[in-house]
Amino acid sequence: MNLPRTILLSLTVMFASAACRKDPATAPDGRGASAPAAAPERVHAPPGAAPGTSEDWCEEHQVPESLCTRCNAELIPAFQALGDWCAEHGLPESQCRICNPDLKLERPGSTDGRQP
């Protein structure tokens, strides 16, 4: 691996720590107020989840949270610089299931894409 690619990959992981975090504790109740959600399923990785671990998973987009460009747009330039970008669908080519229908992204430590 050459130095520029290593640096870009390192930046990607670094920016992942700033990935979007949604608070599932509240949800709109239709009256303009918020009501507590009933036992929400964890959608995003917990803060501080180490990249490459089973906790590092964006359930919403089915990719590692540390590499989820839909949750963290700051990652996009790094993927584009590596030539790993599907402009047609607006996500990394390595994550584009439309262009690559046989693509299988699985949660680390699992064979079915879910946490063991």
**Phi, psi angles (nearest 5°) of residue 44:** -115, 160
Question: Which of residues 31 and 107 earns the better pLDDT score?
Answer: 107
State the Cα angle at 18 between 16 and 20, rounded to 5°: 100
pLDDT tens string 40-49:
566 888 888 8
pLDDT at 113: 47
Which of 27-31, 52-56, 64-68, 105-109 is least confident? 27-31
d(CA 68, CA 110): 19
pLDDT tens string 61-85:
999 999 999 999 999 999 999 999 9
pTM as predicted: 0.57
Dihedral sign computed on CA atoms, order 78, 81, 87, 93: negative
pLDDT for 24 beyond 50: no
pLDDT at 116: 42
Average pLDDT taken over every residue of the chain: 76
